[in-house]
Amino acid sequence: MSLFALTLHEASEKLRRREISSVELTEAVLQRIAATDDRVRAYLTLARDSAMEQAKQADARLASGQPSSPLLGVPLAVKDNFLTQGLRTTCASKILGDFMPPYDATAVAKLRAAGAVIVGKTNLDEFAMGSSAENSAFFPTCNPWNLQRIPGGSSGGSAAAVAADQCIAALGTDTGGSIRQPAACCGVVGLKPTYGRVSRYGIIAFASSMDQVGPMTKDTRDSALLLQALAGHDPADSTSSNHAVADYSAALTGEVKNLRIGVPKEYFVGGMQPEVEKSVREAIRQFEQAGAKIEEISLPHTEYAVAVYYIVATAEASSNLARYDGMRFGHRADAKDLTETYMISRDEGFGSEVKRRIMLGTYVLSAGYYDAYYLKAQRVRRLIKEDFDNAFKRCDVIVTPTAPTTAFKIGEKTSDPLQMYLSDIYTISINLAGLPALSLPCGLDNNNLPIGLQIIGKHFDEATVLRVADSYEQETNWHNQKPKL
């Protein structure tokens, strides 16, 4: 088996037993990137030299035999909206251009402290706004399963890189589905933790009340390992939580007997691709056979989620993106005075989806419309959260499809933003409610494209979500399917 195809837990074990070195593993991954990324285009920036340097240091630490993190010496990829000190960070926007961050995001600092090797920065929709990676200001990423298809978004580069074995695992961010939907499209495991579980410090802000960092991996065991390294309170992020961090690997008992699984009736209505419904229903049957109790539940405010999200997220984005004024960093236009410098820098620097969101967000926050849109949306957001609170009185996890369809064709939805927004119809409510949720592969459609199963948990109960996902992997083989590249 080629080294680049290893999972994180396999690679970690081989490194620890000194069967392989981090230098060998990192070289194998870099070669895999060289052999495939002209087709997949997952990476915006590669960090060959620093990666090889980190691999050498990891080998020295491994040789010392000191206790260490399972990430030590493992090559990982990072979405390009995490600040990485001394490594170009663009957020796939021209407005950041060749921005060189002076410090690391906390999540990245934790990976570095654990001894992980950072191989590069992956492509995304500009400012993480999108569901297809086509909104990147640089180039679209292709789905390794079918290069004419989108990899999902916004963490499309990370999902494609994991699926194509161009890294052992990756980091993504999820504001409305951006870890889970691309994970589903590319046939990998993507976990959005509870809001506040992982520090947002040093993540380029999109919608701060929903943004969350999470692992994108080849299987659930890897997801548990990576979450372990990321989770915890950070004094630099006042919204990060003090809640105790569980032992996620220890939670993977394979046991789902008597577990109560909720299936929301509102998630199985028109518009879903029939093969998606079939695979998800099959997975639910599988859980039942393993001894879980299936409960039909209702999340009555589901139909408002997309509308509420596109008010709250755009409002927060319009405020967060006010800082890109061409003054302290990023693109600055040549203009005659200060106001023109602001205006032209922003006009030249932002792409059309980002401008659309800034305009929508400014509108819903403006005097006269605030009550009718923003305030109303916040009230409905509360109702959506209460739907989940009520449902979780009757069940331990909720199971749904991750996305209504498998990966669509590049270009298919670019002219219709509303169609694009509907890709997140099953993931968005979870961000509004701040809950943890994971997507894992549960089938292939007639075009041989991966289908994602979403498992939603109670606040801070990532352990149960991971346990359920892992138990499914133990009974099935979908997570081992790979694209032919």
Please identify every residue annotated as catalytic.
Answer: 79, 154, 178
Q: Of the two residues 175 and 429, which places its CB atom closer to ligand GLN in the complex?
A: 175
- Told to check if 154 binds ligand GLN by CB under 6 A, we report yes
Q: Of the two residues 125 and 219, which places its CB atom closer to ligand GLN in the complex?
A: 125
Binding to ligand GLN, residues 307-346 (CB under 6 A): 313
Q: Of the two residues 106 and 131, which places its CB atom closer to ligand GLN in the complex?
A: 131
Q: Which of residues 130, 140, 214, 262 is near ligand GLN by CB under 6 A?
A: 130
| Per-residue binder mask for ligand GLN (CB under 6 A), 387-426, x = binder | -------------------------------------x--
Number of residues that this document lists for the chain: 485
Shortest distance (Å) from residue 185 CB to ligand GLN: 12
Q: Of the two residues 248 and 426, which places its CB atom closer to ligand GLN in the complex?
A: 426
Beta-bridge mates of residue 268: none
Tokens of 468: 């359920």
Only segment of 11-19, 88-96, 128-136, 196-204 that touches ligand GLN (CB under 6 A): 128-136
472-478, Cβ contacts within 8 angstroms, sequence gap of 24 or more:
472/283, 472/286, 472/287, 472/440, 472/442, 473/219, 473/220, 473/440, 474/254, 475/286, 475/290, 476/283, 476/286, 476/442, 478/187, 478/440, 478/441, 478/442, 478/443, 478/444, 478/450
Beta-bridge mates of residue 296: 263
- Told to check if 212 binds ligand GLN by CB under 6 A, we report no
Question: Which segments within 327-436 are labelled E, that is strand?
Answer: 397-401
Q: Which of residues 30, 40, 129, 284 is near ligand GLN by CB under 6 A?
A: 129
Half-sphere exposure of residue 329: CA atoms within 13 angstroms, side-chain side: 14
The helix (run of H) or strand (run of E) holding residue 32 is helix 22-40
Q: Residue 76 class from Cβ within 10 Å (0-12 exposed, 13-18 middle, 19+ buried)?
A: buried
Beta-bridge mates of residue 75: 117
Shortest distance (Å) from residue 242 CB to ligand GLN: 25
Q: How many angstroms separate the CA atoms of 95 and 126, rounded?
A: 10
- Told to check if 128 binds ligand GLN by CB under 6 A, we report yes
DSSP-derived 3-state class of residue 306: helix
Only segment of 64-72, 125-133, 278-286, 376-384 that touches ligand GLN (CB under 6 A): 125-133
Q: Of the two residues 81 and 471, which places its CB atom closer to ligand GLN in the complex?
A: 81
Q: Of the two residues 70 and 177, which places its CB atom closer to ligand GLN in the complex?
A: 177
| Per-residue binder mask for ligand GLN (CB under 6 A), 159-198, x = binder | ---------------xxxxx--------------------
Shortest distance (Å) from residue 118 CB to ligand GLN: 21
- Told to check if 237 binds ligand GLN by CB under 6 A, we report no
Half-sphere exposure of residue 161: CA atoms within 13 angstroms, side-chain side: 40
Residues with Cβ within 8 Å of 459's Cβ and at least 6 positions away in sequence, in order, are 194, 434, 435, 436
Binding site for ligand GLN (CB under 6 A): 128-131, 154, 174-178, 206, 313, 424
